[in-house]
Structure 1
Amino acid sequence: MTVYGSLHSAFGPQHWWPATGSEEMIIGALLTQNTNWKNVEKALSNLRRNDLLSFHYIIKTPLSQLEKMIKPAGYFRQKSLRLKTLAETIIATGGLDSLDLLTTLELREWFLRQSGIGPETADSILLYAFKRPVFVIDAYTLRICRRHNWLNDKDNYRKAQEFFTRKLPLKVDIFNEFHALLVQIGKNFCRTKKPLCQECPLEPFL
């Protein structure tokens, strides 16, 4: 929690995930795979402008039109098909309210069974759309943890997730903020090449 406090003091509240509702958040989670958020924002803006930030409307939209809308996010053919399939599957199960009745483990397993959804995307959806206390691990988090010797190079996603779950109070708001704050460190200081360690708020913890 000392690390969390230092990051919160340095960056302030992050208000992540930037979405107006759970459906938009889930759509964004699929679009952000293998691209940066600026590209996702362009794709989301296209969808919003055409009133397509809804599973029902995505289902009704021809695949070719959906591809054009999300093209800025890259891999648009693959992502449009996955997005359409996921929207259809969620609606067929009774919608998000129906899925929300599942336990956290059941919900995670359900999303992991869907095409194109791996642990990071599934956990992002659980944390930000369903408000479940599941810590999201991404490349930034792993890099920071390894450089600070909180984890070793062989530790995988599950080990990293267990580390944060063990160290932090099991609270959605803390998991939410901490993950977003680590992303700020990864983007601005703990870079793959030429990290800015001396300027980093986490430098005292090295």
Structure 2
Amino acid sequence: MIKMIYEKLFSAYGEQGWWPLLDEKFKLSYHPGDYSPPNSRREIFEVWVGSILAQNTTWKVASRALINLAKAGALNPYSIIEMDHSKLSELIKPAVFLNQKAQYLKEISKFFISLKGVPRRDELLSIKGVGDETADTILLYAYKVPEFIVDSYTRRILKKFKLIKGDENYMEIKKLFEDSLPSDYKIFQEYHALLVEHGKRYYRSKSPRDPLLSDFHGDIH
């Protein structure tokens, strides 16, 4: 069933080109069909920052804060560490929870500077402000490690079609996807992005109607 949903969404929406990265004009650039980005340490750090800014809000909102940082010349770990907390908070104001996220950005910046190679998942989880979803986002999109991301849209979609009860923890749902799919970062990236796209279209309300996946019901096995 998990594979069937992926195929249905992919057929409907096609390649999503996530994670979007900023170009030289501070515009977000998607790259459908190209799985090579991020291609530099700067772009990798941009994914880290975006994963923090996107916590508890939409990517559309978080991206405004990301652009603010870039325009201020502060989208690098050294500038974030050195910046006054209040100034940093003001720059990321669109992303909400600004004081909290400003602190988290300083924490990930310190870790990033000392990092050599690809971080382990447990190392990421040891950083203040980095939970399961953020850790998997960093690993999947910054380092192409096949770790499936479970977000709120994923939960809503699976619950609607009774593929989960709704009280499962993050790791249980993550395992469901990883046991059902090839361990391929490209598929994981597309699936997560497709779920987000589908969720934005049909799952904003408390009682969503889903014409695309209306024939999917029941147990996954």
TM-score normalised over the length of structure 1:
0.88
1:170 counterpart = 2:183:
yes
Structure 2: 5+ residue runs without aligned partners?
Answer: 23-42
Partner of 1:18: 20
What does residue range 155-166 of structure 1 map to in structure 2 within 5 Å?
A: 155-166=168-179
Higher fraction of helix? 1
| Pairwise CA RMSD | 1.5
Listed one character per residue, the Cα deviations across residues 117-169 of structure 1 (whole Å, up to 9, x for unaligned) are 11111111111111100000011111111222222233221111111001101
Select which of 62, 66, 91 maps to 1:40. Answer: 62
Partner of 2:79: 57
Cα distance in 2 for partners of 1:108, 1:22 equals 16
Partner of 2:33: none
Cα distance in 1 for partners of 2:60, 2:203 equals 20
Listed one character per residue, the Cα deviations across residues 66-115 of structure 1 (whole Å, up to 9, x for unaligned) are 11111111111111121112201221x2x3xx141x5xxxx110111111
Cα distance in 1 for partners of 2:207, 2:170 equals 24
Give the Å deviation of 1:204.
2.0
Moved over 3 A (4+): none
What does residue range 1-206 of structure 1 map to in structure 2 within 5 Å?
A: 1-20=3-22, 21-91=43-113, 93=114, 95=115, 98-100=116-118, 102=119, 107-197=120-210, 199=211, 201-206=212-217
SS at match of 2:148: coil
SS at match of 1:35: coil
> Which residue identity does 1:19 align to in structure 2?
L
Structure 1: 5+ residue runs without aligned partners?
Answer: none
Higher mean alpha-carbon deviation, 160-169 vs 48-57, is at 48-57
Cα distance in 1 for partners of 2:48, 2:148 equals 16
Higher mean alpha-carbon deviation, 163-172 vs 67-76, is at 67-76
Cα distance in 2 for partners of 1:153, 1:72 equals 30
Higher mean alpha-carbon deviation, 21-30 vs 81-90, is at 81-90
Listed one character per residue, the Cα deviations across residues 173-194 of structure 1 (whole Å, up to 9, x for unaligned) are 0000001111122221134423
> Which residue identity does 1:204 align to in structure 2?
D
TM-score normalised over the length of structure 2:
0.83
Cα distance in 1 for partners of 2:122, 2:66 equals 27
Cα distance in 2 for partners of 1:19, 1:109 equals 26
Give the Å deviation of 1:64.
2.3
State the aligned residue count.
Answer: 195
Cα distance in 1 for partners of 2:205, 2:152 equals 10
> Which residue identity does 1:7 align to in structure 2?
L
Cα distance in 1 for partners of 2:204, 2:83 equals 40
Cα distance in 1 for partners of 2:117, 2:20 equals 22
SS at match of 1:56: helix
